[in-house]
A and B are shown apart, each in its own frame.
Chain A
Amino acid sequence: MRVELTVNGEPQVADDVWEGESLLYVLRERLGLPGAKNACEQGECGSCTVYLDGTVVCACLVAAGQAEGAEVVTVEGLADGDALDPVQRAFLDAGAVQCGFCTPGLVVAVHDLLARTPDPAEADVREALAGNLCRCTGYEHILAAVRLAAERGGEGRS
């Protein structure tokens, strides 16, 4: 089947999509956007987190057909050219990246969190990010990155 959707602001068409493919597969294997990751493909790790019509979801569990006509934003769509999104910048500065496999999903999840709650309490951050597993960092530097991005966002607004 054919799936037409908007990804990172660009209209995209994927042809010859097999019905059993997921949005994640379509992004990675048909549209050349491997940023969203395939760590579990069961919705249990958050590494494939993308925006689907404005809310964050696990792309691995979205049937390709359900993405028809949808607006999708992936990690590849967050930076503005060479200018990183503040969340991406904060991940680098805080040392929140090790192997990096969880990073794209976490960057999108944090981007979503701070868009809704610009200055979250630590417990709220932990609760909001509990759907994103990281095996390398113990999360400490990821929490630092969220704080850093929130602070910088606050500066940006004032």
Chain B
Amino acid sequence: MTTPRVGERTGRIGDSTARPDGTPKVTGAFAFSSDLYLTGMLWGVTVRAPHPRAEIHGVDVGPALAVRGVAAALTAEDVPGRAVYGLDVPDQPVLARDTVRYQGEPVALVAADHPETARRAAAEVAVDYTVLEPLTDPRRALDDGSPQLHPGGNLVRHVPIRRGDPQPTAEVVVTGEYTVGMQDQAFLGPESGLAVPAADGGVDLYIATQWLHVDRDQVAAALGLAPELVRLHLSGVGGAFGAREDLSMQIHACLLALRTGRPVKMVYSREESFFGHVHRHPAILRYEHGATREGRLVYVKAEILLDGGAYASTSQAVAGNAATHAAGPYEVPNAHVDVYALYTNNPPCGAMRGFGAVQACFGYESQMDRLAAACGLDPAEIRIRNAMREGSAAITGQVLDFPAPVAELVRRVRDRPLPPQRSTDLRAMPGGVGGTTHGEDVVRGVGYGVSIKNVCFSEGFDDFATARVRLEVTGGEPVATVFTAACEVGQGLVTVQEQVVRTELGVDRVMIAPADTSVGGAGSSSASRQTYMTTGAVRAACAKVRDRLAGRDPASLGDEVIDATVEWRHRPTSPLDPVTGQGFAHVQYAFAAHRAVVDVDLGLGLVKVVELATAQDVGKAVNPLAVAGQIHGGSAQGLGLALMEEIQVRDGEIVNPSFTDYLIPTVLDMPPMSLDVLELADPNAPYGVRGVGEPPTISSTPAIVAAVRAATGRNLNRVPVRPEHITAEGLSVEAGR
């Protein structure tokens, strides 16, 4: 619903060009999906099941329809097409028909002329439930006595990796069990959109999403419409971080719009948002690392349970990632890894920034610290000693045929000067404005974390992006317009596209058309892939335009319009061998290293992160300011997981679905962040780029926890670390002395 804007900016690849959407975003003019408005539109509301597991015997929408102002109330009976959807496995009902598998599962829909009317009417929908005992412990999911939640059983995917000696031995062995809590993406812009019925029987959906075409295909299937009758238009996206990869209200709004013949807007409340998207998989990780006395890794054994919750979402791919990244960015000749993604009646889990690599990283980095201690080595040194480099083989057997400066990244953060001992401002102490200490009982610690993350889609997925570039003369000046379905979710993709075109065509005026499904697919803005992929596609389209230009000055085109479309692919990957887990599964890896410095109040269990230093190889910093912003933001989300963020689930029910009770870092929680950005080009990637968004989220968590361990001597095998994890163990220390 935004019109193309003429860029006034002139930056090319490597410049910190300003965002084309920056001015509307600072003035309030930018239209997010929750800002859309059409005269005569209705408001849609979802009726959700209050139980994590139940049978449904009937849904009576009659009382809702009787409310004045209500235009429609729909149930599973009203879904004209495919009744289920899902990114990889279509196992999730559009509306629950006879079974509820998680608390908050959509059961019915209401549309009315005012959002409050719709909410009140939704409360009138009568659902007849028989409540059943939920399966909430993923460790029980495969037990004989546990209820089978889906026809195929409760195993979503098992990924084994077997490499080298099946029964290795080592001089030094360390073991550990670690737990990662359920994290929420907590984007600020709630799930929302506007569905507009069209004269051709189809529907136009203005939506905040990460992947227009896969949304489109799932919506069309549920509506029983041909895909071309379902047109998706990207609206302003208020952050994503994985939470917009699955559908939320897309099908629902379209169902209501087609039923009523009127535009229907849906906007989730924050509480509903906690029920309306998938979360980061909680994980239980058991590790055994074997090494020589000198600290060289001999083997890694790991068993990782990922609680996928009620529906599959992207659990299969998350499990693949957890497995292939299970040993971290280290050379290890022998590996025995089993990752299980499981169905339970907990909230569904799927994509979140880091995608399986986050959980594994907390496990293997905790282990590397234990190993360092066991070998009497410095934590940075043991990482350097085992670091992957170009030519190393991963535990999947994949040889890294691109720069992999892991040791250098660790050295960079290690060699930075440490921050001054203590600030005089109490707000910089543990406890912040609570003023709980002025230095008494405060100890400092330093810790490291190093991440590895695949970029782009993996395991043989046909991963492509489409771009169309049009060059013409308008108002006497050459203007290039870029058409893609690639989703700007805040990362700065629109800026990058302009920079590519200016670089390739030498044209200053570049317009980025609103993303929609009128062009070919771009794939998802996820997996740190969209700059890689859409940059590749736009550059290739520009090359085609340049060919047709055949050396002419673009200003001399006259009335001629050059228009070129390219569907661009990265080099193919292959599936993992189902028995050994070997294979060329990932097109690229990205790496980051963090050093965290923390102050911990031993008496109160409070942590202040004093500084986070990051070193990351980005291949090529297409827009250095945006790269820094990605690293800062990713590090902040990792800090949140380390110290405060957890969706607390009890008996399958979310206890804290609000920003009052699900805490994300404020500006007072964030430390100064120093960056070292390396640019070692990946020869396989356009401009040598390497995905940026995920690695910093992955490694900041273990770095912070390692620093807290170093300060306190506590084990801290679970994130987020709570005050009582520090003080409770503290009591036993106190009692002992």
Interface residues of A (CB under 8 A from B): 18, 20-21, 28-29, 32-42, 44-45, 47, 74-76, 78-79, 84, 88, 91-93, 95, 97-104, 107, 123, 125-127, 129-143
A15 to chain B, nearest CB (A): 14
If A40-B659, A135-B633 touch, whether A84 touches B187 (CB-CB below 8 Å) is no
Contacts of A41 in B (CB 8 A): 269-270
Interface SS of chain B: loop
B629 to chain A, nearest CB (A): 6
Quick one: closest A residue to B491, CB to CB? A98
User: How large, as a class, is the contact surface on chain B?
Assistant: 35 or more
B671 to chain A, nearest CB (A): 10
Quick one: closest B residue to A98, CB to CB? B490
Q: Is the CB of B189 within 8 A of A99?
A: yes
Quick one: which of B187, B267, B659, B664 has the most chain A CB within 10 A? B659
Complex partner residue of A139 from B237, B637, B670, CB under 8 angstroms: B670
A135 to chain B, nearest CB (A): 5
Q: Is the CB of B188 within 8 A of A95?
A: no
Q: Determine the distance from Cα of A123 to Cα of B270 in the docked complex, in whole angstroms.
A: 29
If A38-B190, A135-B186 touch, whether A127 touches B427 (CB-CB below 8 Å) is yes
Q: Is the CB of A104 within 8 A of B28?
A: yes
Q: Determine the distance from Cα of A17 to Cα of B270 in the docked complex, in whole angstroms.
A: 23
Q: Is the CB of A126 within 8 A of B427?
A: yes
Complex partner residue of A36 from B16, B25, B28, B188, CB under 8 angstroms: B28
Q: Is B238 an interface residue when CB atoms closer than 8 A count as contact? A: yes
- 13 A-B residue pairings within 8 Å (CB atoms): A20-B116, A32-B37, A39-B189, A39-B270, A42-B660, A92-B26, A98-B492, A100-B32, A101-B188, A101-B189, A125-B667, A136-B239, A138-B632
Q: Is the CB of A44 within 8 A of B21?
A: no
Q: Is the CB of B267 within 8 A of A40?
A: no
Q: Is the CB of A75 within 8 A of B27?
A: yes
Q: Determine the distance from Cα of A139 to Cα of B489 in the docked complex, in whole angstroms.
A: 17
A68 to chain B, nearest CB (A): 19
Quick one: closest A residue to B488, CB to CB? A99
Q: Is the CB of A100 within 8 A of B27?
A: no
B15-71 at interface with A (beta carbon < 8 Å): 16, 18-19, 21-23, 25-32, 34-35, 37
Complex partner residue of B629 from A40, A93, A130, A136, CB under 8 angstroms: A136
Q: Is B433 an interface residue when CB atoms closer than 8 A count as contact? A: yes
Q: Is the CB of B636 within 8 A of A138?
A: yes
Q: Is B712 an interface residue when CB atoms closer than 8 A count as contact? A: no
Contacts of A28 in B (CB 8 A): 35
Q: Determine the distance from Cα of A95 to Cα of B21 in the docked complex, in whole angstroms.
A: 12
Interface SS of chain A: loop
If A47-B188, A133-B666 touch, whether A40 touches B27 (CB-CB below 8 Å) is no
A118 to chain B, nearest CB (A): 19
A88 to chain B, nearest CB (A): 4
Q: Is the CB of A141 within 8 A of B31?
A: no
Q: Is the CB of A142 within 8 A of B490?
A: no
Q: Is the CB of B23 within 8 A of A92?
A: yes
Q: Is the CB of B114 within 8 A of A99?
A: no
Complex partner residue of A39 from B28, B185, B188, B629, CB under 8 angstroms: B188
0 or 1 for each of B266-305: is its CB under 8 Å from A? (1 = yes): 0101100000000000000000000000000000000000
Q: Is B123 an interface residue when CB atoms closer than 8 A count as contact? A: no
Contacts of A143 in B (CB 8 A): 667
Q: Determine the distance from Cα of A21 to Cα of B119 in the docked complex, in whole angstroms.
A: 13
Q: Is B625 an interface residue when CB atoms closer than 8 A count as contact? A: yes
Starting from the known contacts A45-B659, A130-B666, 10 additional A-B residue pairs (CB-CB under 8 Å) come to: A29-B37, A47-B188, A84-B27, A103-B26, A129-B666, A130-B667, A135-B636, A136-B239, A138-B635, A140-B628
Complex partner residue of B239 from A99, A131, A139, CB under 8 angstroms: A99
Contacts of A93 in B (CB 8 A): 18
Quick one: which of A18, A40, A88 has the most chain B CB within 10 A? A40
Q: Is B658 an interface residue when CB atoms closer than 8 A count as contact? A: yes
Q: Is the CB of B186 within 8 A of A92?
A: no
Q: Determine the distance from Cα of A123 to Cα of B671 in the docked complex, in whole angstroms.
A: 11
Quick one: closest B residue to A92, CB to CB? B22
0 or 1 for each of B429-443: is its CB under 8 Å from A? (1 = yes): 000010000000000
Quick one: which of B186, B660, B668 has the most chain A CB within 10 A? B668
B240 to chain A, nearest CB (A): 8
Q: Is the CB of A127 within 8 A of B433?
A: yes
Quick one: which of A21, A79, A84, A137 has the most chain B CB within 10 A? A137
If A84-B23, A126-B427, A127-B427 touch, whether A39 touches B636 (CB-CB below 8 Å) is no
Contacts of A104 in B (CB 8 A): 25-26, 28
If A40-B270, A84-B26, A98-B490 touch, whether A142 touches B32 (CB-CB below 8 Å) is no
Contacts of B425 in A (CB 8 A): 123
Q: Is B428 an interface residue when CB atoms closer than 8 A count as contact? A: yes
Q: Is B402 an interface residue when CB atoms closer than 8 A count as contact? A: no
Contacts of B29 in A (CB 8 A): 35, 76
Q: Determine the distance from Cα of A66 to Cα of B188 in the docked complex, in whole angstroms.
A: 26
Q: Is B626 an interface residue when CB atoms closer than 8 A count as contact? A: yes
Q: Is B127 an interface residue when CB atoms closer than 8 A count as contact? A: no
Quick one: which of A20, A42, A103, A138 has the most chain B CB within 10 A? A138
Q: Is B236 an interface residue when CB atoms closer than 8 A count as contact? A: yes
Contacts of B225 in A (CB 8 A): none
Contacts of B37 in A (CB 8 A): 29, 32, 34
Q: Determine the distance from Cα of A133 to Cα of B18 in the docked complex, in whole angstroms.
A: 23
Contacts of A141 in B (CB 8 A): 625, 628-629, 632
Contacts of B637 in A (CB 8 A): 135
Contacts of A78 in B (CB 8 A): 27
If A97-B26, A100-B21 touch, whether A138 touches B427 (CB-CB below 8 Å) is no
Q: Determine the distance from Cα of A32 to Cα of B39 in the docked complex, in whole angstroms.
A: 12
Contacts of A33 in B (CB 8 A): 28
If A99-B489, A101-B238 touch, whether A142 touches B628 (CB-CB below 8 Å) is no
Q: Is the CB of B27 within 8 A of A126?
A: no
